[in-house]
Amino acid sequence: MNQRYTIGIDIGGTNTDAVFINQDGILLKSTKTTTTANVTEGFSAALQDVITGYPANSITHIKVGTTHATNALLQHNNLFTVGIIRIAGHNPQLPPYYNWPSSLKKTVFRGVSTIDGGFECSGQSITPFNPDQAIKAAQQLQTQGAESIALVGVFSPLNASQEELAAEAIKNSLGSSLSITCSAHVGGIGFIERENAAILNSALKKSLINGFQDLAQAAHSLGLTAARLSFVQNNGTIIDMHTACMYPLFTLSAGPTNSFIGGAKLAGLTEALVIDIGGTSTDVGLIKNGFPRRTLNSSTIANIPLNFPAPDVCSTALGGGTCIKIDNETPCLESKSVGNRLLIDSVSFGGSSLTLTDVALKAGLITIKNAEPDRVSLTKQQIDSLYAQIKNRLQELIEKMRGPEQNISIVLVGGGATLLPPNLIPNAITCPHANVANAYGAALAEISATVDTVVSLTQRDIILTELRNQALNLAVEQGAAASLVRVIEEKIIPYHYIPNNLARIIITAAGGQ
């Protein structure tokens, strides 16, 4: 039987990591390169490194976790400008972009228009919906500079028909060049949080469409024409490029998700608390049944309140590039990082920024080619003091994340994990390839399918069984092996005070190929 191989790549803020695994999930090769300003260059370099020695037609999958969307959002760069159409006959007065950073709002916002329609919680229309109003509103917003439209209907998760009719009418009239997001497809019931999610998704399409096409071209130029390019989404499963470009919001948390899944897999665990120490930050998450624990109905990205599902993550500014200042002879961790300039700006490499990597080099915990630890003028007492601060910070995150799971195993992963003294975190597990756990998690990501619908639960067991089977069948249709597919998440959100026992049901099934 011919061997089939999968490549997993994680594009981080500091490093781009890649792994090469066989069809049994065994890691055969790995590499770590510096993330370039044009991330496609680092992607190509990592890809070239791991495929050397293997025939291109034996590589069937390339699975990518990327910071494209996150970087665009944090840097306020390469974003579509957005106009908002509220389908709300009662004309809500609360302004859009609630609680957004002012600079990001200025970059993205190009106006809001309210038209007739929307639904009461009972399912009745607030006022009659008219698609012509949606067309006129989109035309006006386009003249105001909007490159993308966010459609937000009152109670649209209960009934998305008005948003979908508005989207179709706008596309038929104005063409497909105007990108459109229906809020019912990206968020939950809460109007403001769902509106925020739709705006973000609309804005992020620009960077994702361009970025993902560049990655696809880079893989193609290396002869990987037989490999299916997929992208890891927030729940740790993969979606195709078209879906990722339509819903970039769903890829924002792929980085920590990959690390948590990969770390647990490398340690041979299905339940673990994983600490991922990277170049810029440390993320802590909990793996249950092989997948990250999720937040409860709400999440926050760049301090913007949202209500789409995301992994439950605690983060802190601690990584290999974290800067350190000396205050009255006492070293203190700063929130800033030198990022991908680590090997240029750090003191050990002739720079002026004292970093955690410098500390580890001085302590003899690591060695790096061309590094000169003698440049670092820290005493043993100062180094011990700094590691005591780090231990306290990590212990706070551990206690916050594990809650009642007091006996759960702790796994340390990430390139920054090697910078800590042994047993700094008592009983923490380290394992081979922990420095590329993120890319390994991407390589193992499974195919998934989600059924998200509003139904009556008057015949609860029958309805839930039918929906589970729908999710399982959809996952198989998308390429998951029937023998491996199973339900990985099931959420029931009852709508109180609404007739017929209505509830929103979200069921996700996943399986390997």
3-state secondary structure 190-256: CHHHHHHHHHHHHHHHHHHHHHHHHHHHHHHHCCCCCCEEEEECCCCEEEEHHHHHHCHHHHCCHHH
Task: Specify if 387 maps to a domain.
Answer: no
Q: What are the angstrom distances between the C-alpha of 512 and each of 240, 250, 474, 485?
A: 15, 20, 13, 7
Q: What are the angstrom distances between the C-alpha of 4 and each of 306, 394, 399, 478, 513?
A: 40, 40, 42, 19, 11
Instruction: Specify the number of domains making up the chain.
Output: 2
Range 293-316 burial, b when 16+ CB lie within 10 A, else e:
bbbeeebebeebbbbbbbbbbbeb
- Contact partners, residue 508, CB within 8 Å, separation at least 6: 235, 237, 448, 449, 450, 451, 471, 487, 488, 489, 490
Structure tokens at 70: 């996150």
Task: Specify if 415 maps to a domain.
Answer: no
Determine which helix (DSSP H) or strand (DSSP E) holds 462, and give its type and residue range.
Answer: helix 460-477
Q: Which domain holds residue 475?
A: 445-511
CA distance 290 to 487: 12
Burial of 329 (C-beta count, 10 Å sphere; 0-12/13-18/19+):
exposed
Task: From first to last of the 513 residues of the chain, give the pLDDT tens digit.
Answer: 578 899 999 988 778 999 999 988 999 999 998 888 788 899 999 999 999 999 999 999 999 998 777 777 777 888 999 999 999 999 988 889 877 888 899 999 999 999 999 998 777 899 999 999 999 999 999 999 999 999 999 989 888 999 999 999 999 999 988 999 999 998 877 888 899 999 999 999 998 888 888 999 999 999 999 999 999 998 889 988 898 999 999 888 888 899 999 999 999 999 999 999 988 889 899 998 888 888 755 667 767 877 776 788 888 889 999 999 998 889 999 988 888 789 999 999 999 999 999 999 999 999 999 999 999 999 999 999 999 999 999 999 999 998 888 889 999 999 889 999 998 999 999 999 999 999 999 999 999 888 888 888 889 999 999 999 999 999 999 888 999 999 988 888 887 766 778 888 889 899 987
Task: Specify if 34 maps to a domain.
Answer: no
Task: Specify if 353 maps to a domain.
Answer: no
Task: Specify if 296 maps to a domain.
Answer: no
Measured torsion, CA atoms of residues 363, 409, 309, 299, in degrees rounded to the nearest 10: -50
The overall longest dimension of the chain from CA atoms, in Å, is 75
Task: Specify if 154 maps to a domain.
Answer: yes
Q: What are the angstrom distances between the C-alpha of 87 and each of 150, 193, 247, 253?
A: 11, 15, 21, 29
Task: Specify if 11 maps to a domain.
Answer: no
Grouping H, G, I as helix, E, B as strand and the rest as coil, residue 444 is: coil
Q: Shortest CA distance to 71 belongs to which of 197, 252, 332, 313?
A: 252
Task: Specify if 100 maps to a domain.
Answer: yes
Q: Of 133, 165, 194, which one is at a domain's C-terminal end? A: 194
Q: Of 194, 220, 248, which one is at a domain's C-terminal end? A: 194
CA distance 198 to 180: 9
- Contact partners, residue 498, CB within 8 Å, separation at least 6: 121, 122, 123
Q: Provide the strand spans (E) within 75-147.
A: 82-87, 109-115
pLDDT of residue 312: 86
Q: Of 145, 168, 194, which one is at a domain's C-terminal end? A: 194
Q: Cβ(327)–Cβ(386) under 8 Å?
A: no
- Contact partners, residue 37, CB within 8 Å, separation at least 6: none
Place of tokens 């007091």: 406
Instruction: Please report, as a single letter, which amino acid is at residue 265.
Output: K
CA distance 135 to 412: 53
- In terms of DSSP H, where are the helices of 62-190? 68-75, 102-108, 131-143, 161-174
